Amino acid sequence: MSTLDTPQMNNVSPRPTGIRYGFIAALISIALGLVASTAGLIDYTQQNSAGNWIISLLNYAIIIGALVMGMKKHREDLGGYMTFGQGFMVGLWATLIMAVITLVWTYINFSFIEPDAISTMMEASRDQMIDRGMNDEQIDQAMQFTGWMMNPTMLSVFGAVGSLIGGLIISLIVAAIMQRKPPVDAAV
Q: Tell me the DSSP string of 69-124.
A: HHHHHHHHHTTS-B-HHHHHHHHHHHHHHHHHHHHHHHHHIIIIISTHHHHHHHHH
pTM of the model: 0.85
pLDDT at 187: 47
Our CA dihedral for 124, 130, 133, 138, rounded to 10 degrees, sits at 90
> What 8-state DSSP symbol labels residue 150?
-
Contact 38, 86 (CB under 8 A): no
Which residue in 171, 50, 35 sits closest to 99, CA to CA?
A: 171
- Give the DSSP H or E segment for 42: none
pLDDT at 99: 96
> Which residues of the chain register pLDDT less than 70?
1-10, 186-188
pLDDT in tens, 55-104: 999 999 999 999 999 999 999 999 999 999 999 999 999 999 999 999 99
- For the purposes of burial, counting CB atoms within 10 Å of the CB of 166, is it exposed (0-12), middle (13-18) or buried (19 or more)? middle
pLDDT at 8: 52
Which residue in 155, 184, 174 sits closest to 69, CA to CA?
A: 174
pLDDT at 3: 46
What is the rounded CA–CA span in Å between residue 181 and residue 175? 12
Coil, helix or strand for 180?
Answer: strand
pLDDT at 6: 45
- Give the DSSP H or E segment for 28: helix 14-39
